[in-house]
Amino acid sequence: MSGSCKMELATGRRMRGIVIITSLGHNAAIFFAAVTIMNESSLIQIRDLHFAHKQRVVFDGVDIDIQRGGITGIMGPSGTGKTTLLRLIGGQLKPTRGSILVDDENVPRLPRAALYRLRQRMGMLFQNGALLTDMNVYDNIAYPLREHTRLSETLIRTLVLMKLEAVGLRGARDLMPSELSGGMGRRVALARAIALDPMMVMYDEPFTGQDPISKGVLVRLIRSLNDALGLTSIIVSHDIEETCAIADYIYLLSGGKVVAHGTAQALGRSESAWAQQFLHGEADGPVPFHYPANTFTDDVMQSGNVS
């Protein structure tokens, strides 16, 4: 086979593009080496993902790559399965068909013990923070360390204070969750998510319900912690401005499919009508304003026949 092949490889945490142009003839070895490098840069590979809840199809053949060391945004309207995707990655749900490889382990096929070991390497920031209400801030952070390690209380104390210092809340360690503002609660939950030094953190709607200052703090924390700790981060959100500000790569989901993907800048130039409707908040478009129904005239005429 003659001709040339152009591919873009991701290197480093900030997705720097390297373009390789090579012949598929005598330089085939270079081509396959490049493919190997590209695959190795993905911490998570999702292929041909199908999932349905009862009769409702949530995913219908989805392919997604989550790059190591980067921040990947998963965006789309409410009800498109963004949180479901996180549950599938974490093994809480099993797909109808397809594969989900996390650090080369096929999550749906893992036995329970192996799945639990893998989950210890995953951090999770839940939508509402999900702090344990009967424990103070300190004990919320210490809880996973006490459950999953045999560290001494002295070392656990040092680690808890380090995590709280990283999110700026070391001085709030004795407060109860009910005494925290919404933004503080998310930051405590983030400290707990990184307590076991995971390889990745999944953020489920981290900006929802936050004031502008809290959003700014969370944006800075997610980016700085990701880079400082060498994490891989997945942000599920429909907050466009905040997600686009820190995501290295973004996938837009709708109707069970990936309708667009790329950098924030590339999506802004996308010719996809759906992408433009979502990114600009347009009221009507591929996602219609009106719920499916008969024509208004037909409905009116039928009501006129009611005696």
**Same domain for 100 and 24:** no
136 lies in some domain: no
**Same domain for 104 and 20:** no
**Same domain for 117 and 53:** yes
Q: What is the largest CA-CA distance in the chain?
A: 82
pLDDT at 234: 96
CATH of residue 114 = 3.40.50.300
Q: In the predicted model, is pLDDT for residue 110 greater than 70? A: yes
Percent of the chain with pLDDT over 90: 51
Domain count for the chain: 2
Kindly give the interhelix angle for 182-193 and 153-166, rounded to the nearest 10 degrees.
Answer: 130
- Rounded CA-CA distance 66/44 in Å is 5
Average per-residue pLDDT for the chain: 82
Q: What is the pLDDT of residues 257-298, one digit of tens each?
A: 898 899 988 887 777 777 777 776 666 666 666 667 778 777
**Same domain for 112 and 65:** yes
Domain span at residue 278 reads 45-121+198-304
Q: What is the pLDDT of residues 145-182, one digit of tens each?
A: 999 999 999 999 999 999 999 999 999 999 999 999 88
